[in-house]
Amino acid sequence: MGLDAVARLGVSILSDGDQVSVDSITLFVALLCGCIVIGHLLEESRWINDSITALVIGLSTGGIILLTTKGKSSHLLEFDEQLFFIYVLPPIIFNAGFQVKKKQFFRNFVTIMLFGAVGTLISFSIISFGAKELLGKLDIGFLELRDYLAIGAIFSATDSVCTLQVLNQDETPRLYSLVFGEGVVNDATSVVLFNAIQKLDLSHINSRAALVFTGNFLYLFLASTFLGVLIGLLSAYLIKKIYLGRHSTDREVALMILMAYLSYVMAELFDLSGILTVFICGIVMSHYTWHNVTFNSKVTTRHAFATLSFIAEIFIFLYVGMDALDIEKWRFVKDSPGKSVGVSAALLGLVLVGRACFVFPLSLFSNCLKRSEHDKFGLKQQVTIWWAGLMRGSVSMALAYNQFTRFGHTQQPGNAVMITSTITIVLFSTVVFGLITKPLVRFLLPSSQGFNNLISSEQSFARPLLTNEQELELEMGNVDPVRPSGLSILLKEPSYTIHNHWRRFDDAFMRPLFGGRGFVPDAPELSKGGCDQY
């Protein structure tokens, strides 16, 4: 793609009269490389992670650019929320679905949906109501009811990417699985809420409008899920029937990548939630399509998706770091910095309260549904879950830009205050909360015992998040499992669970048609990996 085409897609370089500059692109790519190298050198640090590294480098670079341009600019690339949603976010969300450990995800599905969907709605309501009450008294400028509702959706979106970088999936597998699943469902729910708010007619607020809003929300959620499943199954069926790998691994890999991206752009075309669609498509493709391709294609796709996701994450945090010093956004609030600090503090407090208002009550509700004491959430585990979801990041930034700016610019004081406050909260939560998370988890859950012993019942959660080789062999039929009999079967492996019903249906109907492990003998399996963990 030529530079002119890139410029038309929304990227403009702030040099030489907004003309595209190869020098600026080169410098930005060099900064990305620096983030990767420095992040690798600091990988063993108990305090620093890749997100914080990219933010610090972005802030440092933005400060240098701000000085060299005499306060005119602080970044190399101009943010475009459409560019973010169309090109940067899809690889991150798809890889999350593609690499998800489905066994733990679906076994914890009820808890994940409670926290990710119901909890997000509770947090959204509290933040929206609190923002209308508190920000209205601070006199930051004119904001409509739609803006306050959008604020609720914006600050309900957690940053699972940053959170998971400071959690160890080997030390706290159940915590990692729960926070990961909740984070993805939370992001999807927040974006669906945000899109539903944009379509809501606020001129007539009544019970009918509430029903329309609920209907739009459910329609977006269900339709987006259906589209993701449909395209995922279509890719599996095509590759299984055509078996492109017999002639060209490149075609197989290309078709998988393009079908994944097709799910996202089709959702956007039909005004659905692209995040939810591409996430569901990733789960379906990892369960069916990935097992239909050749060994080389499996290795290539797994690492290709992970690499694209990693680069996109670093890109986001690097840019946010530079954009935090953008003089245009701050010049609206320089006359009353105390007001901006007050808004940021109020919103951060609402984030803390909003998350607490659903984590602890829903944890108690979840405990009531569990029979075994070992499966229930203790206070330390509840505090860890609450803290692990406090960070705000890329999704919050993108939604804020979408609501309060036009191509990264704003001309209204109220909108400028909201953008600067969002930047402040993202920086503060990522750096401060991110630095504290690792020590906090080790303090609350010493020797990784808390969450492992808490949720690991003898049958349901005895397996770690990353399935070991012995279990993989058992699932592939290479090892005969020792099965209990009598009443212990009903107690340890209830036949009425959704997971067991789905496995029976999957083995009887879905895998024979769409492929999958054990149903595609010509496609050799990997002994380890992210996508073969079901």
* Residue 235 located in a structural domain: yes
pLDDT in tens, 374-424: 667 788 888 888 888 888 877 888 788 888 876 555 667 777 788 888 888
Is 226 among the domain residues? yes
User: How many alpha carbons fall within 13 Å on the CB side of residue 438?
Assistant: 17
| pTM across the whole model | 0.75
Which pLDDT score is estimated for 50?
Answer: 76
Q: What is the model's pLDDT at position 285?
A: 92
What would the pLDDT profile of 260-286 be if each residue is shown by its tens digit? 999 999 998 988 888 889 988 998 999
Q: Return d(Cα 4, Cα 336) in angstroms, integer.
A: 40
Within a domain: 399: yes
CB 184 within 8 A of CB 105: no
Whether residue 355 is contained in a domain is answered as yes
CA–CA dist 393, 317 (Å, integer):
8
- Separation of alpha carbons 55 and 315, rounded Å: 10
- Whether the CB-CB separation of 463 and 471 falls below 8 Å is answered with yes
Read off the amino acid at residue 525: E
Note the pLDDT of residue 231.
95
Distance CA 280, CA 159 (A): 19
Strand partners, 409: 406
From 445, 396, 451, 465, select the one nearest 425 (Cα to Cα): 396
Residue 352 pLDDT > 90, yes or no? yes
On whether residue 192 sits in a domain, the answer given is yes
Tokens matching residue 420: 């600067």
Looking at residue 451, its pLDDT comes to: 41
- pLDDT, residue 460, reads 33
Pairwise pLDDT comparison (146 vs 200), residue with the higher score: 146
The mean predicted confidence, pLDDT, of the chain is 75
Overall average pLDDT of the 297-320 stretch: 87
Range of the domain at 379: 81-444
Residue 184's nearest CA partner among 296, 290, 108 is 108
Please report the pLDDT score of residue 258 as a whole number: 93
**How many separate domains does the chain show?**
1
Tell me what the mean pLDDT of segment 86-115 comes to: 81
> Which H or E run contains 436?
helix 434-444
Q: What is the DSSP string of 353-406?
A: HHHHHHHHHHHHHHHHH-SSGGGSPPHHHHHHHHHHT----HHHHHHHHHHH-B
For residue 245, name the pLDDT band (cuts at 50, 70, 90).
Answer: low
Average pLDDT for 239-268: 85
Give the Cα separation of 161 and 239 in Å (integer): 31
Domain membership flag for residue 27 = no
Q: Does the residue 510 lie in any domain?
A: no
Q: Is position 313 within any domain?
A: yes
373 or 228, higher pLDDT: 228
pLDDT of 160: 66
CATH number for the domain including 436? 1.20.1530.20
